[in-house]
Structure 1
Amino acid sequence: MSAPLQLSRADMQALGERALAMVIGHHEGIREQPTTTSVSRDEAMRLVHTPLSEGPTPPAELLDLLARDVFPNAFRADHPRFYAFVPSPSNFVSAVGDFLTSGHNVFSGHWLASSAASQIELTVLDWLQRACGLPESAGGIFVSGGSMANLSAIVVARETRLGGHDPQSVVYYSDQTHSSMSKGLRVLGFNKPQRRMVATDDAFRMDVAALEAAIAADRANGMRPFCVVANAGTTNTGAVDPLPALADLCAREGLWLHVDGAYGAAAVLHPRGAAALEGLDRADSITLDPHKWLFQPFEIGCLLVRDARLMKQAFRVEEDDHADYLADVSRHIQDDVNFFERGIQLTRSFKALKVWLSLRTFGLAAFRDAIQVGFDVADFAQQWLEASGKWELVTPSQMGILTFRWRGEGMSNEAIDALTARTVDRMREDGYATVMSTILRGRPALRLCPIHWDANTDEMAATLERLTRFAEMG
């Protein structure tokens, strides 16, 4: 009797070749595809919802269904003209890394299970720590994304500065901080008075004077400030908070400085990015998402901590947790790095392989050039908009992001805001490029984030011409 879940070698070969061809076709033909496609829930049910059958279905039929009905009906966040949100401009080598990780099913929760794989993860972490200017004492962990990295950073900060949960403790972050921070704080039990949102200046950077005043007021009211969250490239505008001034303030006040660089921290590999991120090296912890400006496929985030020992202190498995099944792990490898002691997960995959494989394949200079593309195309978009005379720049090109809205001479703000929504819809229906809006100071603005390594100014110009034409339709 054959094993119930085993394919023959020939069947595995055929399935693998078909899947590989699909992925290669996606990469080679992506420019000819629309940037976004979506269907209604009813239509999606009609296309893919079926009862679970008792018998087998030929894999070729299932791949046909995926190729016809699933992959085409999605945002293509790796499309060179996907300028919305924060794209995930992947590369083929990293996709192969994900395949190898899944195919070998490496458990990377502790050293005993994956010593060489763990060392690759530590090597990539070391590259990122050095790039961010952190000391030899630093350490880190790869997680699912910025949301989990931010949550984990607060856990380390809380254990380090407070020794555990304290209902009087306060975390400070700006009104431009990613929503994952507020969500993570709620999950960790911080109630609303403990989550202090600080105003930003005209450039959407955290107002240091306002932060200092909030800290003083909270101390006077018996609260216990312990952590400041700074932004290294906000999702809205690419703004970088004044990191040197915030580091000085945190040093004076004895506060943990966490830098949410999920979007922007990887730009430190480029001289322009490094200049914008001055002070990053003074952070106690940093969030960095390789599936953004390190051009990796979803999903991979990273938390870096100045003192790696504090991660183990925060996430250690204590004796009363009764993790008896880890006795052999603890007995053999007490001095080695166990990633379950640096984060929430025990079961975790070999997350760093795709980053390691692509960085080694292409080299650091290629990644630096890829970051340059994002800067250049965003700068070009700003110049085009300013030269047109028809658009108002809301925030300039910074860290590969800019925002703008229709001038609309003689139009009210309300009319311009309504036109902004219609322009977004027309652009999405057109399919050539994806441009979405955000809200800045209570008003919508169009937003571009052209950080794909294969983006170019010709396609950006064609996108802006379309936006202008759609706005002129009224």
Structure 2
Amino acid sequence: MTYEKTGGSRDWSPERLELPPESLRAFGYRIVDMLVDHQEGLANKPVTGHASRSALTELLDQSLPDGPSDPLAVLEELEQGVLRHSMHVNHPRFFAFIPGPGNMVSALGDALASGFNVIVSLWLEAAGPTAIEETITQWLASVCGLPKTGGGILVSGGSVANLTGLAVARHVMLDDKLDDAVVYCSDQSHASLQKALRLLGFRSEQVRVIPTDTDYRLQPKQLEGALIKDRELGRRPFCVIASAGTTNTGAVDPLPEIAGLCAAYNLWFHVDGAYGAAAALSSQGKTELLGLNQANSIAVDPHKWLFQPFECGCILLRDRALLPRTFAAQHDYMQDGAPADVNLCDYGIQLTRGFRALKLWLSLKIFGLGAFRAAIDHGLAMGKFTETLLRAHDSFELVTPANLGIVSFRYRAVGLSAEALDRVNLAIVEACIEDGFAFVSSTRLRNRDVLRICTINPRTSEADIRSTLDRLAILGDQLLASKDQRV
């Protein structure tokens, strides 16, 4: 079918919210130039771009513009006044929290998804994009070893992925009746899980926090003891949450043993793999994640170890059909379409859903799965390399060895108390922000403040790690020598 062109000359007035083609092309080309320049020059830029709220008063206090502005001038304002006041989480020497390496192919995929303004809610509106998201989630389910019934949906990140998976567990195992129900997790579980359980209506006394062992892994014997005790008291254990790569140390809970307990006690087995589950793509990661394939639900974050731009999370179910069973709702105004259509708005919390799958699909198609596998292997190797350097470095003590690319350690100095060393290590993080060469973050393990490095960026080199550790040692020495008030 063809259509005749309608109308005469186009009206490019701002009221149409359109730019003339030549202006739009110039705007788009400038954005691409900014992205390419950023990628190519990133390693030579400071990692940190932090600014205090008071320093951004002019930006915060600007009035709402009533008239149009030159597009290229607005981009200049963005580049100079906004973007330079943010940390480069894709920098090869950004080791804090969980880095966001991203990739520019996927970034342009986001631009395409936004430009076409695809809404992936109904098959009627987005048959092709829905099929792509189904394909992507089935690929991810396969990577995690789930059966052919497995699949899921893409969400904003690990927080919503965990919330979605636990909502399914609540519905399937409890029929949404929460009285006397109990869920189990470790003392290293992510804070998003406590938030999710609270939002789902569970009181704090319904959440059993199981102590971890010396390797910061959930202890199956302690778990089973808590299960037995709760059942004897007439409570209803229904779900165990395990970690496939904790944020603190990268530790992987003993998944096969936990899966066995869940099977024996008829419990839902949820794995928070937001950080580590994607490592199953590599042979080494698959070994460390043994038992992941026995989960009922798995949270995965492609914007972490599958190198996607924010936001891109995923919840996977062993039985994908449980998602619409939990979330489907009737809307009179959405009655059009075939009864057999897959409508992804029925598979999760969101009704309005963007085309998140496009960026992941594009990058997998263009780079190939082998490139992602090699990038994951590189991150694992860089973690081991960091551990090796730390073991030989006079200024540091290793706290936890490399687990899925995360290493924790501590600056040390003769004659200082543990409390004084806590203050020094926290001050090193502040000095990193001021210095800008690299950035590591801190965490707290066994009541001590420690430094941690996460090495998942595929563009991080051995030289980056070596120079970062040397710079951290210098910063620590300088803080002590100057008798900085922070220490």
| 2:476 counterpart letter in structure 1 | A
Q: Which residue in the other structure is 1:10 paired with? A: 22
Secondary structure at the counterpart of residue 171 of structure 1: strand
- Alignment of 1:324 with 2:336, yes or no, is no
| C-alpha distance in 2 between matches for 1:430 and 1:389 | 22
Q: Which residue in the other structure is 1:312 paired with? A: 324
Deviation at 1:78, TM superposition (A): 0.8
Secondary structure at the counterpart of residue 395 of structure 1: strand
Percentage of pairs with the same residue? 47
Q: Tell me if the contact between 2:50 and 2:433 (Cα under 8 Å) persists in the aligned partners.
A: no
Question: Which among 169, 174, 184 is matched to residue 196 of structure 2?
Answer: 184
Q: Which residue in the other structure is 1:116 paired with? A: 128
Deviation at 1:57, TM superposition (A): 1.6
| C-alpha distance in 2 between matches for 1:352 and 1:84 | 27
Query: What are the equivalent positions in structure 2 for 1:228-267 lying under 5 Å apart?
Result: 228-267=240-279
Q: Which residue in the other structure is 2:73 paired with? A: 61
| C-alpha distance in 2 between matches for 1:61 and 1:341 | 43
Question: Which among 318, 326, 335 is matched to residue 340 of structure 2?
Answer: 335
Residue correspondences, number: 467
Question: TM-score normalized by structure 1?
Answer: 0.97
| 1:144 counterpart letter in structure 2 | S
| 1:388 counterpart letter in structure 2 | H
| C-alpha distance in 1 between matches for 2:386 and 2:408 | 10
| C-alpha distance in 1 between matches for 2:133 and 2:455 | 29
Q: Which residue in the other structure is 1:390 paired with? A: 395
Task: Name which of structure 1's ranges 47-56 and 204-213 shifts more when overlaid on structure 2.
Answer: 47-56
- Alignment of 1:83 with 2:95, yes or no, is yes
| C-alpha distance in 2 between matches for 1:6 and 1:466 | 49
- Alignment of 1:293 with 2:305, yes or no, is yes
Q: Tell me if the contact between 2:178 and 2:201 (Cα under 8 Å) persists in the aligned partners.
A: no
| C-alpha distance in 2 between matches for 1:45 and 1:102 | 30
| C-alpha distance in 1 between matches for 2:181 and 2:56 | 46
| C-alpha distance in 1 between matches for 2:341 and 2:469 | 53
Query: What are the equivalent positions in structure 2 for 1:53-452 lying under 5 Å apart?
Result: 53-318=65-330, 323-329=331-337, 332=338, 334-452=339-457
| C-alpha distance in 2 between matches for 1:53 and 1:213 | 63
| C-alpha distance in 1 between matches for 2:195 and 2:223 | 21
| C-alpha distance in 2 between matches for 1:335 and 1:199 | 47
Secondary structure at the counterpart of residue 321 of structure 2: helix
| C-alpha distance in 1 between matches for 2:352 and 2:18 | 24
Task: Give CA-to-partner distance per residue, 1:24-53, whole Å, 9 cap, x none.
Answer: 111111111111111121221213531112
Q: Tell me if the contact between 1:48 and 1:69 (Cα under 8 Å) persists in the aligned partners.
A: no
Task: Give CA-to-partner distance per residue, 1:345-380, whole Å, 9 cap, x none.
Answer: 111011110000001101111111111111111111
Secondary structure at the counterpart of residue 172 of structure 1: strand
Task: Name which of structure 1's ranges 53-62 and 105-114 shifts more when overlaid on structure 2.
Answer: 53-62
Task: Give CA-to-partner distance per residue, 1:371-430, whole Å, 9 cap, x none.
Answer: 111111111111111112332111001100000112323321011111101111112211
| 2:445 counterpart letter in structure 1 | L
Q: Tell me if the contact between 2:239 and 2:270 (Cα under 8 Å) persists in the aligned partners.
A: yes
Deviation at 1:83, TM superposition (A): 0.2
| C-alpha distance in 1 between matches for 2:343 and 2:459 | 38
- Alignment of 1:20 with 2:32, yes or no, is yes
| C-alpha distance in 2 between matches for 1:174 and 1:75 | 31
| C-alpha distance in 2 between matches for 1:162 and 1:71 | 47
| C-alpha distance in 1 between matches for 2:35 and 2:395 | 41
| 1:263 counterpart letter in structure 2 | Y
Secondary structure at the counterpart of residue 350 of structure 1: coil
Q: Tell me if the contact between 2:155 and 2:313 (Cα under 8 Å) persists in the aligned partners.
A: yes
| C-alpha distance in 2 between matches for 1:101 and 1:169 | 42
| C-alpha distance in 2 between matches for 1:57 and 1:195 | 53
Q: Which residue in the other structure is 1:460 paired with? A: 465
Secondary structure at the counterpart of residue 356 of structure 1: helix
| C-alpha distance in 2 between matches for 1:44 and 1:347 | 33
Task: Name which of structure 1's ranges 382-391 and 235-244 shifts more when overlaid on structure 2.
Answer: 382-391
| 2:260 counterpart letter in structure 1 | D
Note the aligned Cα RMSD (angstroms).
1.1
Deviation at 1:69, TM superposition (A): 1.0
Secondary structure at the counterpart of residue 38 of structure 2: helix
Deviation at 1:271, TM superposition (A): 0.6
Moved over 4 A (4+): none
| C-alpha distance in 1 between matches for 2:377 and 2:453 | 16
Task: Name which of structure 1's ranges 212-221 and 251-260 shifts more when overlaid on structure 2.
Answer: 212-221
Deviation at 1:151, TM superposition (A): 0.3
| 1:452 counterpart letter in structure 2 | N
| C-alpha distance in 1 between matches for 2:313 and 2:379 | 20
The runs of 5 or more residues in structure 1 that have no matched partner are: none
Task: Name which of structure 1's ranges 293-302 and 160-169 shifts more when overlaid on structure 2.
Answer: 160-169
Deviation at 1:436, TM superposition (A): 0.9
| 1:462 counterpart letter in structure 2 | S
Deviation at 1:336, TM superposition (A): 2.8
The runs of 5 or more residues in structure 2 that have no matched partner are: 1-10, 481-487
| C-alpha distance in 2 between matches for 1:426 and 1:145 | 30
| C-alpha distance in 2 between matches for 1:424 and 1:54 | 42
Secondary structure at the counterpart of residue 328 of structure 1: coil
Secondary structure at the counterpart of residue 336 of structure 2: helix
| C-alpha distance in 1 between matches for 2:18 and 2:432 | 47
| C-alpha distance in 2 between matches for 1:199 and 1:122 | 38
Task: Give CA-to-partner distance per residue, 1:227-278, whole Å, 9 cap, x none.
Answer: 1000000000000000000000000000000000000000000011000000
| C-alpha distance in 2 between matches for 1:165 and 1:88 | 39
Secondary structure at the counterpart of residue 235 of structure 1: coil
